[in-house]
Amino acid sequence: MLFGGIDIGSRAAKVVVMEDDQVSATAIIDTGPESAKTARKAMETALEGTGRSISDLGHTVATGYGRVLVPFANENISEISCHAKGINWHFPTAKTILDMGGQDCKAISVNGGGRVENFIMNDKCAGGTGRFLEMIADVLNTPLEEIGDLALASRGPILFNTVCAVFARTEAIKHLRKGVKKADIMAGLHEAIAVRSVNLLKRVSIRKDFAISGGIAKNAGMVRKLAEKVGLEPLLADDPQLVGALGAALFARERHRGARPGGMKIQYGYSDGTGEYFVTVDTALCTGCGECVEVCPADIFRLEPNDAGEDKAVVKAETRKKLAVLCPGADACLASNGANCHSVCEPGAVEHTW
Ligand code: SF4
Ligand code: SF4
C-alpha cells in the first residue's frame, strides 16, 4: 500500500511516498504559480519509473502553504505537526526543532513522541528565510548553493545589525562597494540570522536533542553558525528539505491504518501574495462541544467525527480560501458579536494567525 506526503512550500514542492514502512520514492521540484498543477507534477515526478500512479495512493496528506490546494490529498495537516512527525521518525530523541523554510522560520518544541508542545513562527519578515538568502546571493552574484561554503571561508565576518531584508540588502551592497570580501559579508549575514533564530528557539525553550529541518538546513555555513550559537550539534536528516513531506506521509499511513489521531494542530486558510489568514484547531484540546459552531457569525465551523468517531471542530472547506473576508478577526468579532470562537472555547483549541 502506498502513502503519499506532499509539502507545497513557497519555493519548492516536496513529495515522499511510503510503501508500508519504507520510503519508496521522493521528489523536489520548484513551486509553480498554480499549487494544484505543481502538486500533481511533483507527485508524478516521484512516481516516475515506479510503475505506479496517483490513483494507487491509499491515502495522501498535504502540508505546506499550498496544502489546501492539492486536489488528490485526502486531508491537510499543518507543517508544524508534519515537521515534528518527520523529525521524530529520523530522531526520536529530538525535543527542539528549527524549521527554516523558503518564506518562514519556525521554532517547535516537541515531546519525545513527536507531538508538538509549543511552536512559534516568524512569517512576517523575510529575514532568515530562504527568500532572504536568495536575495543576498543575488546581490553578491553567487549561486545560492555556494553561499554556505562562502560563509565558512570567512576569516573576518562583518557585523550586521539587522536581518530586515530591505536594510540588510542595502548594507550588503554598501560593504561590497567598499571592497569588503563577499565571504565576510555572507558570514556576517549568517551570524545575524543564527542569532535571530536562536532568539526564536529560546521562546519555546532549547532542549536536547536539537534538529534542523527545511531547505536552509542544506547550507553548511548556516548549520555551523547555529551549532555555535545554540551550543548543541544539530541533528540533520539525509535530506532535511523532505522532512515535512515525510511527516505528511507518516500521517497518511497512520490515518489509513485507523490510528486515532493524536494531538494535531490542523491549520485552515491560505498564505499568498495578498497576505495570510489561518485558523488553527488543536484536535487534542478540542472536546467537540460545538460552542464555536454556535457562536461564529461567519459560519465557518462545523463538527466532524475523526477516525475514532469523536466530534472535532473543523473549518468548512468552502470557507477556507476566504477566511479573511468572512472573519473580521478575533477582536473585531468579539466587539460586534459579544463573543467569538476564542472566548467560548474553554480548552483554548482555536488559534488565529493573520
Ligand atoms: S469551542 Fe473549542 S472545544 Fe468546542 S468544538 Fe469548538 S474548538 Fe472544539
Ligand atoms: S473570530 Fe469570530 S468570525 Fe472569526 S472564526 Fe472566530 S467566531 Fe468566527
Q: Are residues 119 and 23 in the same domain?
A: no
Instruction: Say if residue 35 is in the same domain as residue 159.
Output: no
Same domain, 255 and 131: no
Choose the final residue of a domain: 205, 227, 259: 259
Q: Which atom of ligand 2 is nearest to the CA of 340?
A: 7
Residue 118 shares a structural domain with residue 228: yes
Sole residue written with cell 488543536: 282
Q: What is the 3-state secondary structure (H, E, C) of 208-263?
A: CCEEEECHHHHCHHHHHHHHHHHCCCCECCCCHHHHHHHHHHHHHHHHHCCCCCCC
Provide the pLDDT for residue 96. 95
Instruction: State the residue for C-alpha cell 540570522.
Output: 193
29, 12 Cβ separation under 8 angstroms: yes
Q: How far is the CA of 282 from the centre of ligand 1 (A)?
A: 9
Please check whether residues 287 and 254 belong to one and the same domain.
no
Q: Are 106 and 119 in contact (CB under 8 A)?
A: yes
Beta bridge partners, 36, equal: none
**Pair (223, 100) in one structural domain:** yes
pLDDT at 57: 94
Nearest CA to ligand 2 atom 3: 327
Name the residue type at position 272: D
One domain for residues 127 and 246 = no
- Whether 272 has a pLDDT exceeding 60, the answer reads no
Decide if 270 contacts 323 (C-beta within 8 A).
yes
Expressed in angstroms and rounded, the spacing between residue 327 Cα and the centre of ligand 2 is 5
Tell me the average pLDDT across 9-30: 94
3-state SS string for 97-153: EEEECCCCEEEEEECCCCCEEEEEEECCCCCCCHHHHHHHHHHCCCCHHHHHHHHHC
Q: What is the pLDDT of residues 141-193, one digit of tens each?
A: 888 888 889 889 988 888 877 667 677 788 888 888 888 899 999 898 888 88
The reply to whether 83 and 106 lie within a common domain is: no
For ligand 1, atom 3, name the residue with the nearest CA. Answer: 286
What residues does ligand 1 touch, defined as CB less than 6 Å away? 281, 286-292, 313, 344-345, 347, 349-350
Asked if 209 and 197 sit in the same domain, the reply is yes
Q: How many domains does the chain have?
A: 3
Same-domain check for residues 125 and 84: no
Question: Up-side HSE of residue 256: CA atoms within 13 Å toward CB?
Answer: 22
Comparing C-alpha atoms, which of 54, 246, 222, 252 is closest to residue 145?
222
Tens digits of per-residue pLDDT, 296-353?
999 999 998 876 778 999 888 788 778 888 998 888 899 999 999 999 998 889 988 7
pTM, rounded to two decimals: 0.73
194-237 tens-digit pLDDT? 888 898 899 888 999 999 999 888 999 999 999 999 999 999 99
Contacts of range 260-265, beta carbons closer than 8 Å, 24 or more positions apart? 260/306, 260/307, 260/308, 261/306, 261/307, 261/308, 262/113, 262/115, 263/115, 263/116, 264/77, 264/78, 264/81, 265/78, 265/80, 265/81, 265/116, 265/119, 265/351
**Ligand 1 pocket, mutate which of 311, 315, 345 (most atoms under 8 A from CB):** 345
What is the per-residue pLDDT across 117-155, written as a single tens digit (0 to 9) for each? 888 876 555 566 777 888 888 888 888 888 889 889 988
pLDDT digits (tens, 9 = 90+) for 82-126: 999 999 999 999 999 999 887 778 899 998 777 788 888 765 555
| Closest protein CA for atom 6 of ligand 2 | 341
Determine the structural domain holding residue 272 and report its residue range: 265-353
Q: 76, 61 in Cβ contact below 8 A?
A: yes
Asked whether residue 142 falls in the same domain as residue 193, the answer is: yes
Enumerate residues lining ligand 2, CB below 6 A: 279, 295-298, 300, 327, 330, 333, 340-341
CATH number where 336 lies: 3.30.70
Q: What is the reported pLDDT for 261?
A: 53
In 3D space, the residue among 272, 266, 264, 261 whose CA is nearest the CA of residue 315 turns out to be: 266
Half-sphere exposure of 286 (CA within 13 A, CB side): 30
266, 280, 292, 346, best to mutate for ligand 1 pocket (most atoms within 8 Å of CB): 292
Residue 199: which residues within 8 A CB-CB, separation 6 or more? none
| Same domain as 227, residue 113 | yes
Q: Which of 280, 285, 286 to mutate to test the pocket of ligand 1 (most atoms within 8 A of CB)?
A: 286
Helix (H) and strand (E) counts for the chain? 12, 14
Last residue of a domain, one of 259, 291, 320: 259
CATH of the domain at 210: 3.30.420.40
Atom of ligand 1 nearest to the CA of 281: 7
